[in-house]
Amino acid sequence: MSWLYLAWHIESVPSFDFLQTEDLLSRMFILDAKLVLLFANNFPRFSSEEVSAQNQVKASVQRKIRQSIAEEYPGLEPVLEDLLPKKSPLIVAKCQNHLNLVLVNNVPLFFNIRDGPYMPTLRLLHQYPNIMKKLQVDRGAIRFVLAGANIMCPGLTSPGGALDDEVDAETPVAIMAEGKQHALAIGFTKMSAKDIQTINKGIGVDNMHYLNDGLWKMERLD
């Protein structure tokens, strides 16, 4: 039995409680079965205590952030002035693990890691669902994604999954799910959609932010 099969069918084991054993699974490495489950660690238990500083950025930095977001998400152009008003202070909250949050009126709207691309929060994405390219996981992958697991290639290539051939590596994407209307996660591709299809093993997309994680629960940062 291949590790690809195990990774997506482990939920069929009656005694296996995924949510209760998340910490164990994040360290699980079974050589014989070649099963490796890796977990993203951006916001699972994120709270305001992890914010080390909040700074109102200079006008020049604000322009740079606005420009980066406009270039990454051209679909936001009609509402960008409403989201990031030029006359309103733009706050960047620096957090642990090199994470930055972009805040307007204390509401987190975007985040990035180090100098990486800005990604919208899921709450913002649900308001503007067509601003990101989309990949879709099958039903069997949903519970794994919602527990913080990175997205394995088989969950995108199996029946119920869907790929956009225009998605390149290192691209922010909305993670949709079979049978669900709204995105359940924000991802960052480790390989292109075409490579996910042809290689069909390993992690295809890093899970950056998912429903009910710490960032989702933090509607405001006061």
The domains found in the chain, sorted by start residue, are 3-44+128-215 (3.10.400.20), 48-120 (3.10.400.20)
Type of residue at 48: S
Residue with tokens 């990774």: 7
Least Cα distance to 216 among 136, 134, 125 occurs for 125
- Which phi and psi (to 5°) does residue 29 adopt? -145, 100
pLDDT tens-digit series, residues 182-211:
999 999 999 999 999 999 999 999 999 999
119-120 sheet: strands from edge to edge: 51-56, 91-95, 99-104, 107-113, 119-120
The model carries a pTM of 0.80
Measured CA distances, 174 to 45, 137, 146, 179 (Å): 21, 11, 14, 15
Residue of higher predicted confidence among 20 and 108 = 108
Q: Is the pLDDT of residue 140 over 70?
A: yes
39 burial via Cβ count (<10 Å: 0-12, 13-18, 19+): middle
User: Can you read off the two tokens belonging to residue 81?
Assistant: 């002035």
pLDDT tens-digit series, residues 44-95:
556 667 788 899 999 999 999 999 999 999 999 999 999 999 888 999 999 8
pLDDT tens-digit series, residues 86-124:
888 999 999 888 899 999 999 999 999 999 999 999 999
**Distance (Å, whole) CA 186 – CA 120:** 8
